[in-house]
Amino acid sequence: MARTVHIIGAGLAGLSAALDLSARGDRVIVHEATAFVGGRCRSYRDATLGMTIDNGNHLLLSGNHAALAYLRSIGAEQRLIGPPGAEFPFVDLASRERWTLRFNDGRLPLWIFDRSRRVPGTHALDYVALARLLWPRAGKSVGEVITCDGVLYRRLVEPLLLAALNIDPPHGSARLASAVVRETLGAGGRACRPLVARDGLGPTLIEPALAALQNGGAVVNLEHQLRALRFGAERIEALDFGGDAVVLNAADAVILAVPPYAAAALVEGLSVPTEFRAIVNAHFAIDPPAGQPPILGVLNGVVQWIFAFPSRVSVTISAGDQYLDTARDVLAKTIWNEVAAATGLPDTLPPWQIVRERRATFAATPAQDAKRPGAATRWRNLALAGDWTDTGLPATIESAIRSGNRAAALIARQSA
Ligand SMILES: Cc1cc2nc3c(=O)[nH]c(=O)nc-3n(C[C@H](O)[C@H](O)[C@H](O)COP(=O)(O)OP(=O)(O)OC[C@H]3O[C@@H](n4cnc5c(N)ncnc54)[C@H](O)[C@@H]3O)c2cc1C
């Protein structure tokens, strides 16, 4: 009899595990607590703006190989758009300078030696200090490994690490920063092309995955929250969904792909990250000006990145905890003034929406990073997945998808 793998949580970690196991021929049932799929990476119909928007702007890089493989497997790779090369336009709101960082394709960082490609105001030798981030000692913070000051830091390292780690970089884990630098700048421009889901996260990352799962015979149960696991000595014996319970056969398995606080409530004694950082997004219903790049880095403002979508301009503020209690209209106006200055759009505030995700990611400090568990548990038919498990990466789409791949591989090996 074919065994059943129950996947708890339909975020990207759960979906990627479900796709892998379904492709192997396992019977897969996904159980999602809410009425929607995608978790922290989703599109929704926004009544205020009268359009479908993403809960937050998500940026991928061409070096995110697991995310790209996931997209290929669901036939959606073409739905990501980006420039042909690794280009990052920036504007500095304080000095009004504008420049575009252009990494060369190969691993040898020739762009560092080219004034027209590197960060203005820096010299080739400044970049040598970054090498210290490549192989840091365990448990160190970024601030303990490199000097978090100076032009190169403010114009390259800070925006890169703030976006990737979602934490004020000096407090971030050097191990996680190192993984980001190795897999992006260190891997050459071919790994650094910025990619965005122009038509939304749902149509790109979520709906094609659901279609692929359903075509493969997998079942997705929405509004089906796992309330408790029944633990035997060596295996999970049953799943309790409140109204109904599922008793597991000897060969059945479970992948818990829920956020860390939900996992900790279900598995006593599980070590999980307990601190989080917010991400604030502002969305404005307005056509971006002609020639506006898909993403623009902003320095010396509240705004960090401006994304241009059809009929919409959106802003991302990582580690935005300080803006969680700011009045929404005040925040919208502040952000819009900066967008107008950066893009040349009129000062008049267009229809807007602000989405504040309080627990967008775990806090990527060395101490929180040390709390991340691996995929295996002491129950042989229970594996863990999620961007917060110990993937060696900060909490990103790539981390979530790799964690799902890894949990699926673990469960697959156990049945082999
Ligand atoms: C605003 C924002 C911007 C971001 N920007 C980027 C970016 O630019 N680039 C990038 O790579 N990453 C970005 N991220 C991070 C990325 O979205 C996450 O890393 C990824 O979506 C996490 O996926 P996950 O499956 O691990 O977790 P989740 O998406 O949290 O999925 C967990 C799922 O489990 C469900 N669940 C919880 N409890 C139960 C239960 N008891 N029973 C059943 N189901 C349950 C939840 O409802 C949820 O659907 C961003 C995140 C946010 C919030």
* Average pLDDT score over residue span 27-55: 97
State the distance from the centre of ligand 1 to the C-alpha of 166, rounded, in angstroms. Answer: 14
What are the tens digits of pLDDT across the range 257-315? 999 999 999 999 999 999 999 999 999 999 999 999 999 999 999 999 999 999 999 99
Dist. CA 350–CA 340, nearest whole Å: 11
* Average pLDDT score over residue span 393-408: 98
State the distance from the centre of ligand 1 to the C-alpha of 40, rounded, in angstroms. Answer: 3
Torsion of CA 136, 140, 145, 150, to 10 degrees: 130
Q: For residue 416, is pLDDT > 70? A: no
Across-strand partners of 236?
231
Q: Which atom of ligand 1 is nearest to the CA of 262?
A: 38
Res 235: pLDDT: 96
- Residue closest via CA to ligand 1's atom 13 equals 396
Res 354: pLDDT: 97
Residue 263 amino acid letter: A
Res 360: pLDDT: 98
* Average pLDDT score over residue span 317-346: 98
Beta carbon of 39 within 6 Å of any ligand 1 atom = yes
Res 156: pLDDT: 96
Residue corresponding to tokens 């280009």: 87
DSSP helix, strand, coil percent of the chain (3-state; round to 5)? 35, 25, 40
- Residue closest via CA to ligand 1's atom 19 equals 396
Beta carbon of 282 within 6 Å of any ligand 1 atom = no
> How would residue 129 be classed by pLDDT, with cut points 50, 70 and 90?
confident
* Average pLDDT score over residue span 229-249: 96
Q: For residue 17, is pLDDT > 90? A: yes
* Average pLDDT score over residue span 2-31: 96
Res 415: pLDDT: 72
CA-closest candidate to residue 355, choices 396, 307, 387, 314 = 314
Dist. CA 85–CA 404, nearest whole Å: 29
Q: Which atom of ligand 1 is nearest to the CA of 397?
A: 11
| CA 172 to chain centroid | 16
> How would residue 414 be classed by pLDDT, with cut points 50, 70 and 90?
confident
Pairing of strands 4-8, 27-31: parallel
> How would residue 1 be classed by pLDDT, with cut points 50, 70 and 90?
low
> How would residue 76 be classed by pLDDT, with cut points 50, 70 and 90?
very high
State the distance from the centre of ligand 1 to the C-alpha of 258, rounded, in angstroms. Answer: 8
Is 282 exposed, middle or buried (CB count within 10 Å of its CB: 0-12, 13-18, 19+)?
A: buried
Percent of the chain with pLDDT over 70: 100
Asked if 89 contacts 297 with a C-beta cutoff of 8 angstroms, the reply is yes
Beta carbon of 165 within 6 Å of any ligand 1 atom = no
Res 326: pLDDT: 97
Res 198: pLDDT: 84
Task: Output the average pLDDT for the chain.
Answer: 96
What are the tens digits of pLDDT across the range 170-204? 999 999 999 999 999 889 999 999 999 988 999 99
Beta carbon of 56 within 6 Å of any ligand 1 atom = yes
Beta carbon of 59 within 6 Å of any ligand 1 atom = yes
What are the tens digits of pLDDT across the range 143-176? 999 999 999 999 999 999 999 999 999 999 999 9
| CA 54 to chain centroid | 13
Q: Which two tokens stand for residue 393?
A: 């990466």
- Residue closest via CA to ligand 1's atom 2 equals 56
Cβ contacts of 341 within 8 Å, gap of 6 or more: 93
Beta carbon of 400 within 6 Å of any ligand 1 atom = yes
Beta carbon of 384 within 6 Å of any ligand 1 atom = no
Mutate to test the pocket of ligand 1, among 7, 19, 58 (most ligand atoms within 8 A of CB): 58
> How would residue 392 be classed by pLDDT, with cut points 50, 70 and 90?
very high
The distance between the two most distant Cα atoms of the chain, rounded to a whole number of Å, is 68
* Average pLDDT score over residue span 246-266: 97
* Average pLDDT score over residue span 216-231: 98
Beta carbon of 194 within 6 Å of any ligand 1 atom = no
Beta carbon of 64 within 6 Å of any ligand 1 atom = no
Cβ contacts of 411 within 8 Å, gap of 6 or more: 5, 17, 21, 253, 255, 381, 383
pTM: 0.97
Dist. CA 149–CA 151, nearest whole Å: 7
> How would residue 2 be classed by pLDDT, with cut points 50, 70 and 90?
confident
Cβ contacts of 5 within 8 Å, gap of 6 or more: 18, 21, 26, 27, 28, 29, 252, 253, 254, 255, 411
Cβ contacts of 265 within 8 Å, gap of 6 or more: none
